[in-house]
A and B are shown apart, each in its own frame.
Chain A
Amino acid sequence: MSEAPLLEVSSIVKTYRVAGVGPFARKNARPALAGVSFSMQQGRSFGVVGESGSGKSTLARIALALDKPDSGVVRLQGHSLFDLPRRELRAARAHMQMVFQDPYGSLDPRQRVEKIVAEPLAALGGAGRAERRARVQASLEAVGLKASDALKHPHEFSGGQRQRIAIARALITRPRLVVADEPVSALDVSVQAQTLNLMSDLEREAGVTFLLISHDLAVVAHICETTAVMYRGRIVEIGETDALFAHPAHPYTRELVDATPRLDQPTRAPLAPANGGPEIAKGCPYASRCAFARPLCREDAPALEAKGDGSRKVACHYPLD
């Protein structure tokens, strides 16, 4: 019998009501997520890339049941999170934790590291004092900090160390899934390297699988076996990470790859801004910006469909070779 996926996200739709520009503008309902589905296997970290407004952070919140979708299902190891009674949802949360981008904003400056790191335990009904202390110590040591750091306050640490504290907090419940939303983008290069090495160690040694959300393709490629590319609330391409970035099938994935700065060649881009265009009710959401769009693209929204041997799916009428 095959094991249930670690995380299974099915047909998630989430709409936020956003105010238009100007005092009398109408409020528009804009779908943040327009039917997103994917599944993650234990031990195979999963990356989500896309630009701001693509819905990737909304997806992270819903995957952790921090936010409710309008419709759709999230299953953690086969259990549907939104159907669980509150107590069981809390227990399920022990298996999944989150690390945020900003190691400054996400740690309470008035609390000692010990209290910060132990916080997820309290949400689970707590642990005895001795056990709590032992687990804080183990968590700090797992991220390369010292047990004695438990008594310090966040301001006594560098940015990279603070991100380690945030990761130690996520690890304390021994989760199988850690959702990391831009965990290294606020860090200097040398500190990024330490954090990425730590994430690799945790995958190998602590059995953590990451759902990594990032705008940085190199960071995602470093950690994740599989990657999904999101554009305006939809997955437009998904597949094995290295193949995806080496041979993008969706024109938007190609735009992302071409725009990523590289040491060996300048990026190529048009001088004009990308014409995001107004939200159109029908057709491909990328059509107004796509260099390859044909009439069909403006009429009919392409579904996410398997291409080639099936390891890749792409939502495009005319995928690139």
Chain B
Amino acid sequence: MLLEVAELAVDLMTPGGSRRVVDRTSFSLDEGESLGVVGESGSGKTMTALALMGLTPEGARVSGSILFEGRELIGLSEEAMQQLRGDRIAMIFQEPMTALNPLHKVGAQVAEPLVLHRGLTERDARGRAVDLLERVRLAEPERAARSYPFALSGGERQRAMIAMAIGCSPRLIIADEPTTALDVTVQARILALIDGLRSESKMAILLVSHDLAVIAGHCDRVIVMYAGVIMESGPVQVVLHQPRNPYTLALLEARARPGAPRRARLKTIPGAPPAAHERSVGCPFAGRCALTVDRCWTTPPPEVGFGANHVSRCHRAGEVGFGR
């Protein structure tokens, strides 16, 4: 197993006290596998990704276990994390300009991890950077290497960031909403590129997205997060077509779907997610969920298995399904 996360929790220190933003999170990822993490804002999906990279905000407390290539990452020094980041684990962000420095040429930035982690000379690294820019299918890689980030389009910048991420042949790429800011036609091409790179080099991908359909098309398995908790996990086609958790079902039914009758009532989810300090000891979805019963408020829901690694965290998981 490439990555094994067990009972991961992240607590943020706020003026109002400590807030748990990721809770009891366990999942694993195999070599070459693609895992989607889906959830709405505040679900903890981005904080989970940041915890894997050791990039949680100052003062955050991370507990549990993150085993990567058999090595425990929690408690690792910042120096040791830096050696892993950009080498064995790389990250792709929604906004390429968070990773690209506007003042440096693209080629030099793509070359930098190669100098840092692989000990290449500047000159060799620059040559290799052009190869990488070609590998992400930039039309004129030499020209792109000589350009500053602002001279590239949004899609081209995203490709440059991917080139930077794959330079050291990482075993795991964490992609946080990598295509959310892009046009759908550009998004489709970037996702196809990431799929292609994954099958070529057997990298594993953790794809964080708010969009169920993006995950459906590009991941093997999915975890659905809500209020810091994994509500459901399993093979992507099983979870999205036979959900066993009321929250997953609610997300699916809230979507506008092409082909549905015009102005058909979309199902909504009443209320709003609980803030971190308002969560009950029971299920975080209690109260918003149509199936809520007394024990949902008082007892944490159990993990209920449905075969083939499909797990739902719900007291009434057996009763959930479309059309019920």
Contacts and interface: CB of A to CB of B under 8 A. Distances in A.
B151 A275 contact: no
Contact of B183 (A52, A190, A225): A52
B188 interface: yes
A190 B253 CA distance: 9
Contact of A188 (B184, B185, B193, B210): B210
Interface in B116-151: 137-139, 150-151
A174 to B, nearest CB: 21
B268 interface: yes
B263 A188 contact: no
Given A188-B210, A189-B251, A196-B256, A223 B139 contact: no
Interface residues of B, number: 52
Interface residues of A, number: 51
A189 B191 contact: no
Nearest to B218: A266
B213 A192 contact: no
A225 B261 CA distance: 11
B189 A190 contact: no
A274 B251 CA distance: 32
A245 B268 contact: no
A128 B185 CA distance: 50
A222 B256 contact: yes
B260 interface: yes
A192 B187 CA distance: 21
A152 to B, nearest CB: 15
Contacts of B324: none
B196 interface: yes
The interface centre, meaning the residue of B187, B196, B260, B262 with most chain A CB atoms within 10 A of its CB, is B262
Contacts of B80: none
A272 B137 contact: yes
A194 interface: yes
A188 B40 contact: yes
B185 A51 contact: yes
A76 B205 CA distance: 51
Contacts of B137: 271-273
A291 to B, nearest CB: 13
A75 B4 CA distance: 62
Contact of A269 (B159, B189, B213, B264): B189
B91 to A, nearest CB: 21
Interface in A31-90: 51-52
A259 interface: yes
Residue of B183, B184, B191, B218 most packed against chain A (CB within 10 A): B184
B192 interface: yes
B294 to A, nearest CB: 24
A28 to B, nearest CB: 15
A261 B268 contact: no
A197 B268 contact: yes
B280 to A, nearest CB: 20
A203 interface: yes
A193 B260 contact: no
B298 interface: no
A261 B214 contact: yes
A193 B268 contact: yes
Contacts of B257: 218
Nearest to A22: B151
Given A51-B185, A261-B211, A190 B240 contact: no
Contacts of A217: 184, 258
Given A215-B184, A258-B188, A273 B156 contact: yes
Nearest to A51: B183
A222 B262 CA distance: 5
16 contacts: A51-B183, A158-B272, A189-B251, A190-B250, A192-B254, A194-B268, A196-B266, A215-B183, A216-B256, A262-B216, A266-B217, A271-B137, A271-B192, A272-B139, A273-B186, A274-B185
Given A215-B184, A218-B255, A259-B185, 17 more contacts: A21-B151, A52-B183, A190-B250, A190-B251, A190-B268, A197-B268, A204-B263, A241-B262, A259-B189, A261-B184, A263-B212, A263-B252, A268-B192, A269-B192, A272-B137, A273-B189, A274-B186
Interface of B: 40-41, 137-139, 150-151, 153-156, 159, 183-189, 191-193, 196, 210-214, 216-218, 240-241, 250-252, 254-260, 262-269, 272
